């Protein structure tokens, strides 16, 4: 989009928040970069350059506007509709891979050399993997500086910096103030939140419209006791992260999502936030999606009733895949009961539990090594779970933000006991594939039947062609419709 200067400049002139995260406005006369919706006076065209990412703007020497906070804008939805190597690299960097494994680890994960990866990202994103990771660390540091009373040295290492000196230099370069000055500036609006209980309260940016109630209802209906709960509008769940465990409580507010995080290790903050954003599909472009789906007379009333519908993602790919197999040919309630039994028998125990959330989902290793009696399901389905867990443990399958959807689908259906419905469901939720579709899904068939449409797989597949490339969002609308009809019955 940054190649269309006139379109970008018109968005800046109109202060259009829909473009926040799509691109960033770099002002050469001030050395500052902003969101398109920044309330400051619109700069002259001659003084404007556009950048595809905050990282690219920072790499070019621009510092973040302290008024519109461009580093905290929603992520670009451009990556949600792509599954190429650049998109997968961006997702893995957001998940903290560079901080954990370095650029070499990221390149190896994608099957590229470091030089190839650098060239690819510079061409697609405007900068390399180190600059993208640096921008992410800077945003995490700002969150911790402004919302906690942690010592600044602890903030530095929690945000992923290798040294306090690197932390100080990066904050100064990105925000044009020292970390201590940034904390004092935040203190003018109120004291830092100590989170004495170990809780960090963060606001997750989103795009409007946002059908948050429908999204949390979907997650709540499938909440597995022990690892999830949903009550009084608050969805809670455990997180298994790289340096420890955590618990998040998510609440829909008027213009953002409130996330209250309790982490065993603050180094996992960046990863936890990234996974929560993917769980709630916060970086989607609802206006573009609704515009396509509303052209279909069948879906148009559903889009009007629930604008900004999101597709629920996942915080843990292997967990989602195991639960998808458990859910084959059983009701949502039945799958939830079976999963709860596994959690109680072989799930991990949280060091810092909260009421209703006391465990983590069993690891692939725990599933492989467990006594067969803990599986309250038919033997064929149990064997499919164990085969999947073994493939995950051996590295033959990888289910995370960096997986290729085509390769993953092929690997999944090659395992006995896993069919196309399961593979597409995993691609839709664990990978965020926006065009994933399951024509044999019972909820889809029942919703279409009640809407007066044929409910056989061939007819549904043909009908869904006009919903591309957003078929997963059409599925979310149909599931939401089916849920409402079931509740009304």
Q: What's the rounded Cα separation, in Å, for the pair 30 and 382?
A: 62
Q: What's the rounded Cα separation, in Å, for the pair 75 and 310?
A: 15
Q: What's the rounded Cα separation, in Å, for the pair 204 and 209?
A: 15
pLDDT tens figures, 346-363:
999 999 999 999 999 999
- Whether residue 224 contacts residue 343, with contact meaning beta carbons closer than 8 Å, is answered with yes
- Name the residue among 406, 471, 470, 400 with its Cα closest to residue 431: 400
| Beta strand 348-354 pairing with 357-360 | antiparallel
Sign of CA dihedral 269, 271, 274, 277: negative
Cβ partners under 8 Å of residue 441, min gap 6: 421, 475
- Whether residue 423 contacts residue 437, with contact meaning beta carbons closer than 8 Å, is answered with no
* Residue 228 φ/ψ, nearest 5 degrees: -145, 155
SS3 content of the chain, % helix, strand, coil (to 5): 50, 10, 35
Q: What's the rounded Cα separation, in Å, for the pair 170 and 54?
A: 14
Question: Is 441 among the catalytic positions?
Answer: yes
- Name the residue among 22, 7, 57, 64 with its Cα closest to residue 40: 64
Token pair of 137 as six digits: 């660390």
Helix (H, G, I), strand (E, B) or coil at 62: coil
- 73: which DSSP letter? S
Cβ partners under 8 Å of residue 48, min gap 6: 9, 12, 25, 26, 27, 28
How many alpha carbons lie under 13 Å from residue 57 in its C-beta half-sphere? 30
- Whether residue 454 contacts residue 460, with contact meaning beta carbons closer than 8 Å, is answered with yes
Q: What's the rounded Cα separation, in Å, for the pair 242 and 448?
A: 42
Strands (E), 14-150: 24-27, 32-34, 48-51, 63-64
Active-site residue, from 8, 34, 38, 65: 34
Q: What's the rounded Cα separation, in Å, for the pair 182 and 173?
A: 12
- Name the residue among 267, 259, 287, 261 with its Cα closest to residue 72: 259
- Whether residue 233 contacts residue 248, with contact meaning beta carbons closer than 8 Å, is answered with no
Burial 321-336, CB ≥16 within 10 A → b, else e: bbbbbbbbeeeeeebb
Tokens 């973040």 label which residue? 64
- Whether residue 157 contacts residue 267, with contact meaning beta carbons closer than 8 Å, is answered with yes
- Whether residue 455 contacts residue 446, with contact meaning beta carbons closer than 8 Å, is answered with yes
The pLDDT assigned to 198 comes to 66
The pLDDT assigned to 392 comes to 97
Domains detected in the chain: 5-67 (3.40.10.10), 78-147+149-187 (1.10.10.60)
Question: Could you tell me the CA-to-CA distances from 1 to 35, 125, 131, 290 in Å, in that order?
Answer: 14, 11, 21, 20
* Residue 381 φ/ψ, nearest 5 degrees: -70, -40
Mean pLDDT, consecutive 10-residue segments, the chain of 489 residues? 86 90 94 95 95 93 92 82 86 93 94 95 92 93 87 91 94 93 72 52 92 96 97 97 96 93 93 95 94 96 96 97 94 95 97 95 96 91 96 95 92 96 96 94 93 91 95 96 80
- Whether residue 419 contacts residue 409, with contact meaning beta carbons closer than 8 Å, is answered with no
Active-site residue, from 245, 283, 435, 441: 441
* Residue 436 φ/ψ, nearest 5 degrees: -65, 145
């Amino acid at each position: 989009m940054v190649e269309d200067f006139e379109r970008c400049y018109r968005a800046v002139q109109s202060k259009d928040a829909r473009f926040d995260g799509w691109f960033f406005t770099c002002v050469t006369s001030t050395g500052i970069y902003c969101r398109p919706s920044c309330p400051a006076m619109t700069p002259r065209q001659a003084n404007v350059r556009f950048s595809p990412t905050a990282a690219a703007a920072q790499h070019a020497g621009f510092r973040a506007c302290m008024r519109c906070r461009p580093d905290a804008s929603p992520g670009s939805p451009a990556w949600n509709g792509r599954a190429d190597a650049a998109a997968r690299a961006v997702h893995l960097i957001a998940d903290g891979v560079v901080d954990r494994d370095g650029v070499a680890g990221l390149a190896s994960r994608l099957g590229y050399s470091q030089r190839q990866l650098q060239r690819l990202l510079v061409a697609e994103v405007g900068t390399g993997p180190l600059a993208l990771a640096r921008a992410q660390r800077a945003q995490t540091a700002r969150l911790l500086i402004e919302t906690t009373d942690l010592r600044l040295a602890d903030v530095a290492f929690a945000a992923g910096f290798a040294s306090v000196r690197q932390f100080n230099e990066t904050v100064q370069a990105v925000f044009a103030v020292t970390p201590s000055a940034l904390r004092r500036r935040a203190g003018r609006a109120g004291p830092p939140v100590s989170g004495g209980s170990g809780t960090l309260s963060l606001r997750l940016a989103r795009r409007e419209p946002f059908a948050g109630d429908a999204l949390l209802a979907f997650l709540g209906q499938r909440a597995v006791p022990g690892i999830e709960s949903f009550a009084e509008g608050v969805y809670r769940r455990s997180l298994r992260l790289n340096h420890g465990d955590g618990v998040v409580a998510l609440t829909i507010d008027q213009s953002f999502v409130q996330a209250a995080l309790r982490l065993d290790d603050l180094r996992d903050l960046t990863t936890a936030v990234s996974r929560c954003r993917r769980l709630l599909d916060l970086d989607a472009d609802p206006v573009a999606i609704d515009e396509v789906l509303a052209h279909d007379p069948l879906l148009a009333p559903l889009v009007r009733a629930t604008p900004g519908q999101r597709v629920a993602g996942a915080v843990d790919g292997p967990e989602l895949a195991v639960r998808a197999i458990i859910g084959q040919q059983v009701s949502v309630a039945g799958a939830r009961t079976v999963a709860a039994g596994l959690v109680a028998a072989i799930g991990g125990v949280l060091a810092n539990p909260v009421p209703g959330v006391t465990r983590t989902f069993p690891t692939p290793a725990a599933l492989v090594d467990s006594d067969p009696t803990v599986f309250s399901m038919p033997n064929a389905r149990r064997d499919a779970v164990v085969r999947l867990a073994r493939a995950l443990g051996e590295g033959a399958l990888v289910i995370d933000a960096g997986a290729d959807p085509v390769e993953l689908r092929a690997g999944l259906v090659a395992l006995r006991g896993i069919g196309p419905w399961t593979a597409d469901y995993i691609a839709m939720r664990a990978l965020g594939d926006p065009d994933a579709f399951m024509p044999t899904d019972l909820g889809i068939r029942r919703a279409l039947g009640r809407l007066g449409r044929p409910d056989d797989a061939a007819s549904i597949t043909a009908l869904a062609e006009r919903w591309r490339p957003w078929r997963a969002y059409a599925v979310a609308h149909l599931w939401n419709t089916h849920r409402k009809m079931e509740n009304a019955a």
